[in-house]
Amino acid sequence: MLRAFGAGDHGGEGLGVADLYVLGGALLFVEVVGAVELVERYAPRLLLLDLSMPGLGGLGATLEIRRRGLSVRILVLTQYAEALSVRRALEAGANGYILKTARGEELMGAIRAVLAHGTYVDPSLAGALFAPATAAEPPPASDDEALARLTPRERQVLRLIAEGYSNKEVASTLGVAVKTAMAHRANLMDKLQIHNHSKLVQFAIRTGVAGLK
């Protein structure tokens, strides 16, 4: 039996609850908060995920799912039609990306491709995604510029991460919920465009946020 979940706000035009299908006896559910915990508990083969879902957000949830080593296939269903959003989702560990405006048969094709261990990108975005970089694209931000994007709280979280604190330890140190600490982590990684733990630590050391011990 195929086991699949869907998580997100699903508030846009296009696909809705009535457009989602029964696959092998299991439904794709929408309006689910706590996607990471559900994946860990039920071990579905497929997760349909919205980037704008509440809590961690779709990108943060994807990063956390991959950090925990969960093997679920992730298909992003979203309203964001920018190539940068696609790149971020795939770099975070998503296996596919399709727009909410897609027709039902297009969604089914994306699901089949992702479940067959392929990568699916909405055809309307594929050209922009794989186009060569142009001179008009801004150069990568310097470390100082990247650091300036972070809030004081996000810098605190970055320092604690670099010092080896777990999400639970970060939350305890700051006096916040674990989900809040995880959200700060996801947000700062997104702002820095760093989705690798060791590179995040290197950045913190380079910028003086954390020191070598």
Residues 113 and 175 in one domain: no
Selected residue with higher pLDDT from 141 and 100: 100
The closest of 10, 51, 37, 32 to 187, measured between CA atoms, is 51
Selected residue with higher pLDDT from 23 and 88: 88
213 falls within a domain: no
Q: Cα-atom radius of gyration of the chain, to the nearest Å? A: 18
Given a cut of 90, whether residue 172 has pLDDT beyond it is yes
Given a cut of 80, whether residue 121 has pLDDT beyond it is yes
Q: Which of 130, 162, 188 is the last residue of a domain?
A: 130
pLDDT attached to residue 13: 40
Look up the CATH number of the domain holding residue 151: 1.10.10.10
Question: How many independent structural domains does the chain possess?
Answer: 2
Q: Which of 130, 155, 190 is the last residue of a domain?
A: 130
How far apart are alpha carbons 151 and 97 in whole angstroms? 29
Look up the CATH number of the domain holding residue 119: 3.40.50.2300
Tokens for 67, please give them: 């950090």
Range of the domain at 105: 4-130
Residues 158 and 115 in one domain: no
Strands, E, within the chain: which ranges?
4-7, 22-23, 26-27, 46-49, 73-78, 96-99, 120-121
**DSSP 8-class letter at 112:** H
How far apart are alpha carbons 36 and 156 in whole angstroms? 24
Residues 124 and 197 in one domain: no
Residues 15 and 73 in one domain: yes
Residues 118 and 191 in one domain: no
138 falls within a domain: no
110 falls within a domain: yes
85 falls within a domain: yes
Please write the tens of the pLDDT for every residue from 58-104. Answer: 777 888 888 888 888 899 888 888 888 888 888 888 999 999 888 88
Residues 99 and 8 in one domain: yes
Taking the complete model, does pTM exceed 0.75, yes or no?
no
